[in-house]
């Protein structure tokens, strides 16, 4: 079979070199009983996931020259369930911080939530309506460091209060690292998050909005999480939630951020969907 024409979303040689050792090690630990290695290259599986992340296409609309839906979803689900997607992300995250002369684990995080629409096929039991923002669908919560790199992600129904999402984010942050001592949040979070943070040894500060400011105004240090949400929006699969399971939605964030960090580390670019 002749080599296919590359897609703009494909992982470059430099980017693939960053994650290939993790995939190779995973593959060595998950050999089939028959010893069959599988009919598809792992790099092509990852390229299919990146293509879907960038374009937002349905599983059945993956191009014919990429591995088929069944094979791609098999690995997506496996890596989601055993945490390989987060392992890849975290390794790249540590490298990204190291390049900026930062310690591997942060001492400060910024928390925020974003409500967004869910597709028609998403189970109603996992969605809701954000009464404040009047958005039906799901809510995505992020904890990011001062570089805007994701530390933890939580996806829930949009009707879930920010306090609940904030507490879950703090739990996941502390489960990953004991270095975080301070968290910045906006006024959507209440004292319940402050109290929960204190129980975990994290000082949660609710950043007050300047009453003299009109319209949107970025807050010092807190603006990085808004920037991260903007960066994720270039991945069309994240603009609307198509996933039946919230765990799959969280996995999509890790894959998108892995692609973003790998691109920054290798100084390579992937055209956005708005580029001509």
155 located within any domain: yes
The radius of gyration of the chain from alpha carbons, rounded to an integer in Å, stands at 19
pLDDT tens digits, residue range 241-259? Answer: 999 999 999 999 999 999 9
Cα gap 85→253, rounded to integer Å? 10
CA distance 146 to 95: 15
Report the C-alpha gap between 75 and 59 in whole angstroms: 13
244 class by beta-carbon count within 10 Å (0-12 exposed, 13-18 middle, 19+ buried): middle
Q: How confident is the model at residue 1 (pLDDT cuts 50, 70, 90)?
A: very low
**Mean pLDDT over each residue of the chain, to the nearest integer:** 91
Residue 255 counted as domain residue: no
CA angle 51, 157, 112 (to 5 degrees): 75
Task: Please indicate, yes or no, if residue 13 is contained in any of the structural domains.
Answer: no
In this structure, is residue 49 part of a structural domain? Answer: no
Q: What percent of the chain has pLDDT over 70?
A: 90
Is 172 part of a structural domain of the chain? yes
Is residue 189, in this structure, part of any structural domain at all?
A: yes
Domain count, the chain: 1
Q: Assess whether pLDDT exceeds 80 at residue 274.
A: no
Task: Please give the residue range of the domain that contains residue 156.
Answer: 103-241
Of 78 and 222, the one with more pLDDT = 78
| 17-43 average pLDDT score | 85
In terms of Cβ atoms closer than 10 Å to its own Cβ (0-12, 13-18, 19+), residue 54 is buried
Q: Is residue 274 one of the residues assigned to a domain?
A: no
**Is residue 206 in some structural domain?**
yes
Burial of 44 (0-12, 13-18, 19+ CB in 10 A): middle
Supply the pTM of this predicted model.
Answer: 0.91
| CATH number of the domain enclosing 113 | 3.30.420.10
Confidence band of 188 (pLDDT split at 50, 70, 90): confident
């Amino acid at each position: 079979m002749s080599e296919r024409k590359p897609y703009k979303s494909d992982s470059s040689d430099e980017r693939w070199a960053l994650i290939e050792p993790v995939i190779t090690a995973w593959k060595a630990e998950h050999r089939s009983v028959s010893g069959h290695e599988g009919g598809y290259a792992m790099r092509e599986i990852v390229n299919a996931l990146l293509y879907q992340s960038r374009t937002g296409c349905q599983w059945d609309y993956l191009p014919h020259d990429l591995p088929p839906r069944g094979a791609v979803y098999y690995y997506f689900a496996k890596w989601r369930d055993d945490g390989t997607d987060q392992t890849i992300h975290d390794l790249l995250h540590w490298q990204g911080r190291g390049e900026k002369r930062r310690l591997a684990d942060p001492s400060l995080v910024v928390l925020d939530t974003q409500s967004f629409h869910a597709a028609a096929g998403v189970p109603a039991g996992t969605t809701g309506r954000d009464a404040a923002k009047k958005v039906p669908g799901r809510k995505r919560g992020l904890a990011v460091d001062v570089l805007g790199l994701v530390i933890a992600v939580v996806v829930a129904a949009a009707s879930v209060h920010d306090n609940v999402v904030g507490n879950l984010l703090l739990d996941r942050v502390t489960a990953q690292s004991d270095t975080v001592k301070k968290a910045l949040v906006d006024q959507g979070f209440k004292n319940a998050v402050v109290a929960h943070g204190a129980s975990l040894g994290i000082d949660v500060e609710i950043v007050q909005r300047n009453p003299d400011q009109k319209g949107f105004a970025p807050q010092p240090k807190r603006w990085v999480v808004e920037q991260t949400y903007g960066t994720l929006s270039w991945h069309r699969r994240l603009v609307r939630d198509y996933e039946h399971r919230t765990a799959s939605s969280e996995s999509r964030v890790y894959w998108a951020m892995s692609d973003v960090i790998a691109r920054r580390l290798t100084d390579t670019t992937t055209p956005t969907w708005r580029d001509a």
